[in-house]
Amino acid sequence: AQSVTQLDSHVSVSEGTPVLLRCNYSSSYSPSLFWYVQHPNKGLQLLLKYTSAATLVKGINGFEAEFKKSETSFHLTKPSAHMSDAAEYFCVVSSNTGGFKTIFGAGTRLFVKA
Amino acid sequence: SQTIHQWPATLVQPVGSPLSLECTVEGTSNPNLYWYRQAAGRGLQLLFYSVGIGQISSEVPQNLSASRPQDRQFILSSKKLLLSDSGFYLCAWTETEGYTIYFGEGSWLTVV
């Protein structure tokens, strides 16, 4: 069985400070993991993905995430937040369990204060 | 490169009226296609997915239906809308053997 848990429903940071959005997953198979960003009234945009290559994955807009199998985590980070980073972020796990199965996290709303 | 188009972007419909949302994908062949719904302040709910023309799987019993008349076209329909059908609808695609999901821009449906 697969599951994904985003540990914070809301995160608030000041502009220029680091961002940490936490995601834990559970999967009986070798999973692929993704982070998506959704700005208001927009579709989901792929930020980055892990598919069993390098465990530190770099994405767009300065974001990166590290796959830690021992901790079953895939946290999203950014060294310095920008006002334009304010959005909803979704952690996603997917694997081939006799058919592709994709599970979305509940989302984390990121607020960036000036 | 591949692109996905979804329309209309916004729609206000009275209760009991029909619905048709359309989605097309360009630049790829035989994609897997998906319809998701995102209610206000909530996560994504998979409604339908399709692995080929005429092949539709429903994840949630509801007032909606989906069709795939062409390889890269996916349509979400309803004969009679309910208030509870309001929400943000997202079309998405993956490659046949791919994990990465690519989303359209979404369609806001308000049933009044």
Distance CA B71, CA B50 (A): 10
pLDDT at B8: 96
Distance CA A84, CA A64 (A): 16
Distance CA A54, CA B21 (A): 39
| B61 pLDDT more than 80 | no
Give the nearest partner residue to B99 out of A45, A100, A106, using CB atoms. A100
- Best interface-test mutation with A: which of B21, B44, B47, B89 has the largest number of A CBs within 10 A? B44
Q: For residue B96, give the chain A residue with the closest CA.
A: A100
Mean pLDDT of chain B: 92
Judged by a CB distance cut-off of 8 A, whether residue B51 touches chain A is no
Distance CA A39, CA B103 (A): 13
pLDDT at A51: 84
Nearest Cα residue to B92 out of B40, B10, B28: B28
Please give the DSSP secondary-structure letter assigned to residue A60. G
pLDDT at A99: 62
Interface of A with B in 13-52 (CB under 8 A): 32, 34, 36, 41-46, 49, 51
| B72 pLDDT more than 90 | yes
Distance CA B26, CA B72 (A): 7
Q: How close B44 gets to chain A, by Cα (Å)? A: 7
Give the nearest partner residue to A43 out of B46, B94, B105, using CB atoms. B105
Judged by a CB distance cut-off of 8 A, whether residue B103 touches chain A is yes
Residues from chain A that touch B92, judged by Cβ atoms under 8 A, are 44
Confidence of residue A98 (pLDDT cuts 50, 70, 90): low
Distance CA A81, CA A63 (A): 10
